[in-house]
Amino acid sequence: MKITSIINGVEQTESNGETMAVRNPFTGELVAEMQLADEAQMEEAIENSVKAFNNTMKMMPAHERADILLRAAQLLEDKKEDFARVVAIEAGKPIKHSRAEIQRSIQVIRFSSELSKHMTGEVLPMDAALRGDQRMGMVKRVPMGVIGAITPFNFPLNLSLHKIAPAIAAGNTVIFKPAEKTPVSAYMLTKLFHEAGLPDGVLNLVLSTGKVAGSTLVPHKKVPKITFTGSLTVGKIIRDTAGFKKVTMELGSNSPNIVFEDAEIDDAVERLVNAAFGYSGQVCVSAQRIYVQEEVYDEFLMKYKEATEQLKIGDPLDEETDFGPMIDEDAAERIQEWVEEAREQGATIETGGERKGTIVYPTIITNVKKEMKVVTEEAFAPIVTVMPFRTEDEAIENTNDSIYGLQAGVFTKDISRAYRVADKLEMGGVWINEASVYRQDNYPYGGVKLSGLGREGVKYAIEEMTELKFIGVRL
Ligand code: ADP
């Protein structure tokens, strides 16, 4: 299979850019050959998106945007098994998790369709201000223009749709630059939107390297907004080169989860196995630090190890598989080095710690020091640290001792304590009796500190992809 960029509805088979192979992370087999766009093609795509914004999107009424999105949601529903298989094959995500991702993706498009009809503004009481009587003022929400959407490999469909669908709902056009590892689902998604009746040029897919996107799309004068999900390293580069334009950034974290002595231990164990090891820990809000109150530490650790060792490891396409490969061998080697480094510094590997090709076995690490890389840096891998604590204050202090602040989980039956702790955690979101990894697509999702800028979650993404415009009348 050969895949290409799609500009103005046309597949770009001619390109001076190189080609790149897309491989199945589990088998190493070739999934597709990708024709990369070069700088000139990116420029062409951006010019075309500007034209589509001025000539098409500005004129398109909200009800039409809503209908197109609804048709896209229906088409994705019809093709959900095809998409799930592609995500399993190109991203190495176990098929049952891939299916769950597609289901959420459909929902994200539906939310966007609904909200495209609710871009309301307000009428201001102008006479509240001196000289304001005999004046009328209104505030509208207006689209920004061309949105540059740069996305990662880990939820190739849903995290892309968290940008594309709200952008269309709000009346923008989009340059979609998916991750190099997962372009096949992106290519299928772009075609699906065309099939749903989205006019040419409203969604332009540009398959390029990060480098090309970084040098052309990010600083481009005609692109007023970049929305990015990915690593802190790349986020920093984008922030530096984006200049004055608006940016939304969903970056990483080393997500904490606190288990108090009164928690339902079995429930916490079950949730935290999935939170740490779901999709091999390659999730922005994966549980990486688990703080357990000392009264229940031994019980928790024993049950946690036992449950982790039950995970079925294997081919992502196998219905029974809970746990598959990492995205590539480099990622697997990197985390193996981190684990070795922790071991040399005195940590105990309770289970896992081994690697076979791209598979890194689910790894629980204890006796860690808070300066160790496995604690402080984003692992984005199937490893988790478990640490005891004595008091509530100590748990809060340790949790907040991080450059990141995306989501946390707190397990306790004491409702006062739950709220008290939630208020004190420096996080974009806190879950009580749920693990850090849980996300719904309709609440504000994003981080404080170095975990990001701005929020997604359809309504909030629409706010970030529109400008407020004031119109006043002197009567
Ligand atoms: P991940 O490890 O989750 O893939 P990255 O931050 O490496 O995260 O990549 C996320 C996205 O950012 C990918 O689409 C990648 O191609 C893109 N990217 C990488 N480098 C740059 C850059 N310098 N400028 C813009 N985009 C980039």
413 and 380 within one domain: yes
Decide: 200 in ligand 1 pocket, CB within 6 A. Answer: no
What contacts 52, CB < 8 A, 6 or more positions away? 8, 173, 199, 200, 201, 202, 204
292 and 223 within one domain: no
| β-bridge partners, 293 | 389
| C-alpha radius of gyration, the chain, whole number | 23
Q: Residue 249 C-alpha to ligand 1 middle, in angstroms?
A: 12
Q: Which residues are catalytic?
A: 250, 284
97 and 184 within one domain: yes
Name the residue at shortest CA distance from atom 26 of ligand 1.
Answer: 210
180 and 56 within one domain: yes
State the total domains in the chain: 2
Q: Among the atoms of ligand 1, which is closest to the Cα of residue 231?
A: 6
Query: Quick check: 156 and 178 in contact, CB under 8 A?
Result: yes
Name the residue at shortest CA distance from atom 21 of ligand 1.
Answer: 210
Residue 307 buriedness (CB in 10 A; 0-12 / 13-18 / 19+): middle
Q: Residue 242 C-alpha to ligand 1 middle, in angstroms?
A: 14
341 and 260 within one domain: yes
Name the residue at shortest CA distance from atom 18 of ligand 1.
Answer: 210
Q: Among the atoms of ligand 1, which is closest to the Cα of residue 282?
A: 3
What contacts 373, CB < 8 A, 6 or more positions away? 338, 341, 342
465 and 319 within one domain: no
120 and 215 within one domain: yes
Q: Residue 301 C-alpha to ligand 1 middle, in angstroms?
A: 36
What contacts 333, CB < 8 A, 6 or more positions away? 355
pLDDT at 14: 81
416 and 302 within one domain: yes
Q: What's the CATH number where 429 sits?
A: 3.40.309.10
Q: Residue 210 C-alpha to ligand 1 middle, in angstroms?
A: 5
386 and 351 within one domain: yes
Decide: 238 in ligand 1 pocket, CB within 6 A. Answer: yes
CA distance 263 to 274: 17
Q: Among the atoms of ligand 1, which is closest to the Cα of residue 213?
A: 25
Domain that holds residue 365: 256-444
The helix or strand, by DSSP H or E, that contains position 233, with its residue range, turns out to be: helix 232-241
Q: What's the CATH number where 174 sits?
A: 3.40.605.10
| pTM check: above 0.85 | yes
Decide: 187 in ligand 1 pocket, CB within 6 A. Answer: no
Decide: 230 in ligand 1 pocket, CB within 6 A. Answer: yes
* Length of the chain (residues): 475
Name the residue at shortest CA distance from atom 17 of ligand 1.
Answer: 210
What contacts 202, CB < 8 A, 6 or more positions away? 49, 52, 56, 57, 168, 173, 174, 193
192 and 68 within one domain: yes
142 and 10 within one domain: yes
Q: What is the pLDDT along the chain (475 residues), one digit of tens a residue?
A: 999 999 999 999 987 779 999 999 999 999 999 999 999 999 999 999 999 999 999 999 999 999 999 999 999 999 999 999 999 999 999 999 999 999 999 999 999 999 999 999 999 999 999 999 999 999 999 999 999 999 999 999 999 999 999 999 999 999 999 999 999 999 999 999 999 999 999 999 999 999 999 999 999 999 999 999 999 999 999 999 999 999 999 999 999 999 999 999 999 999 999 999 999 999 999 999 999 999 999 999 999 999 999 999 999 999 999 999 999 999 999 999 999 999 999 999 999 999 999 999 999 999 999 999 999 999 999 999 999 999 999 999 999 999 999 999 999 999 999 999 999 999 999 999 999 999 999 999 999 999 999 999 999 999 999 999 999 999 9
Decide: 460 in ligand 1 pocket, CB within 6 A. Answer: no
263 and 157 within one domain: no
Beta-strand (E) ranges in 108-262? 122-124, 135-143, 146-150, 173-177, 203-205, 225-229, 246-250, 256-259
CA distance 154 to 231: 11
